[in-house]
Chains A and B, each alone.
Chain A
Amino acid sequence: MTTWMLRRLIQAAFVMLVMTVIVFIGVNVIGDPVEILISPEADQAERARAVAALGLDKPLWEQYWRFLSGALQGDLGRSFVFNEPALKLIAQRMPATLELAITAVLLSVIIGIPLGLYAGLKPNSIGGRIIMGGSILGFSLPTFWVGLMLIMVFAVQLGWLPSTGRGPTRELFGVHWSFLTWDGLRHMALPALNLALGNIALVLRLTRAGVRENLPMDYVKFARAKGISPNRVVFVHVLKNILIPIVTVVGLEIGGLIAFAVVTESVFAWPGMGKLIIDSINVLDRPVIVAYLMMIVLLFVVINLIVDLLYTVLDPRVRLETKE
């Protein structure tokens, strides 16, 4: 188990290292930092001074080394726009994004699993067919367009929910959260649903496939032969078996949701790090872009690690193998 963990950690560190190289090359080789970092009105002497100050006259490997050691100390430069450390900006916006992504995960499980169970238990019913048809829409509709339609219907036409923004927040553990106030929840409803849509379809299909696959199995028939209630057969015996692949996939999708929050946050003007990165790209605020990219890669690596761990906890068969 420990060697397995160690190997996974080394792998994760390696991926992070590769990403720093890619981001460094992207910013410093493909893009021209001098042009972006130094005001165009600067004269020759000022430019030279700035280049020296930024270390751009040094060889590339030395620049990379500076970048890497800075990154390790949590220093990824200062935002030109906000004149604050880029990492601090990202950290400030992160709770809003995480809150949105986690709500979306919860929604996809809460909505997706029951619908998938229904469609799996009654595959030929009208309801089951409608659910499956709808899930195709959930996969192929562009997120941003669905977001617009949600705003149009629920905010503009019906006026039930606020269209944009985060609403009032309340502080918990020194961080501001929306889900602690009723109005905050109302603000979160549409963006979270929008972000969850693709995942609802995914969870639904996985659940249905799992039910179809597990129902004919002997263990289900044996459970029924024991005389336990049909509800217990479905919700304990079958669901526990299906849950393993679902948890794995949903876990792996959290990273995707955080990345995709870029779109939802832009549509709903949700002040998370996704909106920050889009704004930063538009004004070429490179340090923030770099900080965002490094941050999100870190999130990805951490999430993948956690999902792997969770998987071993959930599936007793895997657990045994890793123990031995």
Chain B
Amino acid sequence: MSELTLDVQGLSTHFLTRGGVVKAVEDISFSVPRGRVLGLVGESGSGKSVTGFSVIGLVDPPGQIVRGKILFQGRDLTKLDERELRDLRGNRIAMIFQDPMMTLNPVLRIDTQMIETVLAHEKVPREAARQRARDALGMVGIPSPDERLVSYPHQFSGGMRQRVAIAIALLHRPDLIIADEPTTALDVTIQAQILAEVQKLAREVGTALIWITHDLSVIAGLADDIAVMYAGRIVESGSVSEVLDRPMHPYTHGLIGSVPSRNARGTRLRQIPGMTPSMLNLGPGCAFRARCARADAACAADPQQSTPVAGRTLRCFHPQLEVTA
């Protein structure tokens, strides 16, 4: 087993709003070894993005990390001050955002936005920084990078902008990249290209990757491990092949069942009944029980995390152990 780049233990991130406490992330643990890809899956509002922002230390108030450890190469990020975190951000830990149309500053040229990232972490001459920026653009497959450097974001297509954002993330060859649904806003063909490129880069550079998405098919093709989030908790995790082939949590089961490609043509798509619960002042007990066919009185208590099989975790009183899909 290779060394862990990131090891999150019992992380809780809460939003203290006027209407009450939103436990966006509650007691989650996961780890990402060097060079591996973790897929973080869940519906919108399940706490995937907040998890990503917690790791990079950019949870906006009124949100705050209330418990837990985030060990990055052995250092606990929750103990670092803002200055130390800033040295890591964009340098050892990089992040790619969901909407490429919004992440680049519309009124600054691409070279400005790339060079400032280089100079924020390394004392190199401007020309050298520029050279680095150009190489990074070439690496993500942007043609004629010299010309593109002096362009403004609006002169790029969405896919190109996301490549630029990825190039910025790669500038310092980070040890960890957090990608928050980076391909959901893109066309399917461009999505496939970017996925392939990111995968290749992660392998070559040895970067650990957290890929946040609601799209199981992306995870199936890209990730090594998977963690399924529901209402702020990781309900199930394990290696991709294990979890997708033999899901144990009813929610994971439902998710897999609702992927269109896995259903035969002409049959109705299966869907999970009910809606995601409101996260505001969420009471105790399994948050999924209202939508779960297997729920009973036991589910009113909090299910503890168990390890049914080596390398897998689960939070459920009534796991589905036989293969039904």
**Is any CB of A less than 8 Å from a CB of B in the complex?**
yes
Chain B positions near chain A (C-beta within 8 angstroms): 56, 58, 60, 86-91, 94-95, 97-99, 102-108, 113, 116-117, 120-121, 152, 154-155, 165, 168
Contacts of A217 in B (CB 8 A): 102
Rounded to whole angstroms, the CA-CA distance of A163 and B155 in the bound complex is: 55
Binary contact track A283-315/B, C-beta < 8 Å → 1, others 0: 000000000000000000000000000000011
CA distance A316 to B155 in the complex (A): 10
Least CB distance from A225 to B in Å reads: 4
| A–B complex contacts, Cβ < 8 Å, 25 sampled | A217-B102, A218-B98, A218-B99, A219-B102, A221-B58, A222-B103, A222-B165, A225-B89, A226-B117, A226-B120, A226-B168, A227-B87, A227-B90, A227-B117, A227-B120, A227-B121, A228-B117, A232-B116, A236-B108, A237-B108, A241-B105, A244-B107, A315-B107, A317-B154, A320-B155
B88: A residues at CB distance < 8 A = 227
Whether B91 lies near A224 (C-beta < 8 A) is: no
Bound CA–CA A244/B106 (angstroms):
12
By the criterion CB–CB under 8 Å, are A219 and B106 in contact? yes
CB within 8 Å for A218 and B154 given contacts A224-B58, A226-B90, A227-B88 = no
Contacts A226-B90, A227-B88, A237-B105 given; does A316 touch B117 at CB 8 Å: no
A317 vs B154: C-alpha distance when bound (angstroms): 7
A 229-247 to B, binary, CB cutoff 8 A, 1 in contact else 0: 1001000110011001000
Contact of A317 among B94, B106, B116 (CB under 8 A): B106
Contacts of B91 in A (CB 8 A): 227
Q: How many chain A residues touch the partner (CB < 8 A)?
A: 24
Q: Are B154 and A229 neighbours in the complex by a CB distance under 8 Å?
A: no
Q: Whole-angstrom distance between the alpha carbons of A122 and B99 in the complex? A: 28
Given A227-B117, A228-B120, A232-B116: A222 and B104 within 8 A (CB)?
yes
Q: In the complex, what distance in Å separates the CA atom of A320 from the CA atom of B91?
A: 33
Does A223 reach chain B (CB closer than 8 Å)? yes
| Structural contact, B116 and A226, CB atoms closer than 8 A | yes
Contact partner, A316, options B86, B116, B152, Cβ 8 Å: B152
Q: Which residues of B contact A216 (CB under 8 A)?
A: 60
Q: Which residues of B contact A236 (CB under 8 A)?
A: 108, 116
With both beta carbons as reference points, the residue of chain B lying nearest to A244 in the complex is identified as: B107
CA distance in complex: A219, B168 (Å): 13
Q: Do A228 and B116 contact each other (CB < 8 Å), given the known contacts A218-B97, A221-B97?
A: yes
Query: How many angstroms between the C-alpha atoms of A224 and B154 in the bound complex?
Result: 21
Kindly list chain B residues whose C-beta atoms are within 8 Å of the C-beta of A228: 90, 116-117, 120
Q: Are A225 and B90 in contact, with the CB atoms below 8 A? A: yes
Interface residues of A in 52-104 (CB under 8 A from B): none
Closest to A226 in B: B90
CA distance A156 to B60 in the complex (A): 51
Q: Which parts of A135-157 form the interface with B (CB within 8 Å)?
A: none
Residues in B whose Cβ lies below 8 Å from that of A244: 107
Q: Which of B86, B95, B107, B165: most chain A Cβ within 10 A?
A: B107
